[in-house]
Amino acid sequence: MERDSMDKLGSILKAARKSNEFTREQFAEIINITPRYLMSIENENKKPSYDVLFRVVRKLGISADTIFYPEQEKKISELEYINNLLCLCDEYQVSVVKATLHALLRPQNIKHIK
């Protein structure tokens, strides 16, 4: 894991905990660590053990990609937006988008997907 990704870990976990409406004390009890240890992970960039990280991710429902590839978050949002737009298209419009993408991308980079 890159240093920058690890530096963001605490803020990612803290935001997820808050969005799940857990206090630090409640969540620490749920995952069987002390509130002080959780605070050090969230605020002081302390790196949790694999076991603790696993419990946090599972209990908060965080995607592993969010932790290991935080720089892709914006790209994923853009892809979700494009996907939502595609869902509004009729069959002809989808075929135009598909043909445009094929024209823009190099043939050797396109796997044959139907």
Residues 40 and 46: beta-carbon distance below 8 Å: yes
- Specify if 12 maps to a domain: yes
The torsion angle over the Cα atoms of residues 86, 91, 96 and 98, rounded to 10 degrees, is 60
> Are both 15 and 55 inside the same structural domain?
yes
State whether 41 and 77 are in the same domain: no
- Residue 111, both tokens: 């796997």
Q: How many domains does the chain have?
A: 2
Same domain, 9 and 46: yes
Q: Are residues 42 and 15 in the same domain?
A: yes
- According to the model, what pLDDT value does residue 41 have? 96
**Alpha helices (runs of H) in 1-114, residue ranges in sequence order:** 3-19, 24-30, 35-43, 50-60, 64-68, 73-87, 91-104
- Decide if pLDDT at 1 tops 50: no
Is the pLDDT at 25 greater than 60, yes or no? yes
Is residue 114 assigned to a domain? no
User: Against a cut of 0.85, is the pTM above it?
Assistant: no
| Per-residue pLDDT tens digits for 31-84 | 999 999 999 999 999 999 999 999 999 999 888 777 887 766 656 567 777 887
Contact between 110 and 102 under an 8 Å Cβ cutoff? The reply is yes
How much of the chain exceeds pLDDT 70, in percent? 81
Residue 29 lies in a domain: yes
